[in-house]
């Protein structure tokens, strides 16, 4: 579960080929926390990310959502 400092939740639907790049952004950024990664389908993965602020969540959704 995301830390309380990352309570703004972004839900992203991505092509799995983009996971390496997105995963690196989440891992390297203090403003993000990976909550879950649903890989149950081959063509679209659902990634849930905790974000440090509403502005960060909005940027994440604009860039990846």
Q: What is the pLDDT of residues 12-65, one digit of tens each?
A: 999 999 999 999 999 999 999 999 999 999 999 999 999 999 999 999 999 997
pLDDT for res 32: 96
CA 26, 5, 8, 37 torsion-angle sign: positive
Residue 3 has what pLDDT? 46
pTM: 0.88
Residue 47 CA to residue 64 CA, distance in Å, equals 10
What proportions of the chain, in percent to the nearest 5, are helix, strand and coil?
A: 40, 30, 25
The secondary structure element, H or E, covering residue 28 is helix 19-28
Phi first, then psi, for residue 55 (nearest 5°) are -65, -40
């Amino acid at each position: 579960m995301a830390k309380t400092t990352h309570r703004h939740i972004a839900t992203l639907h991505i092509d799995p080929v983009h996971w390496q790049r997105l995963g690196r952004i989440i891992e390297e950024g203090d403003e993000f926390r990976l909550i879950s990664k649903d890989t149950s389908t081959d063509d679209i993965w659902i990634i849930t990310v905790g974000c440090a602020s509403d502005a960060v969540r909005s940027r994440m959704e604009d860039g990846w959502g």
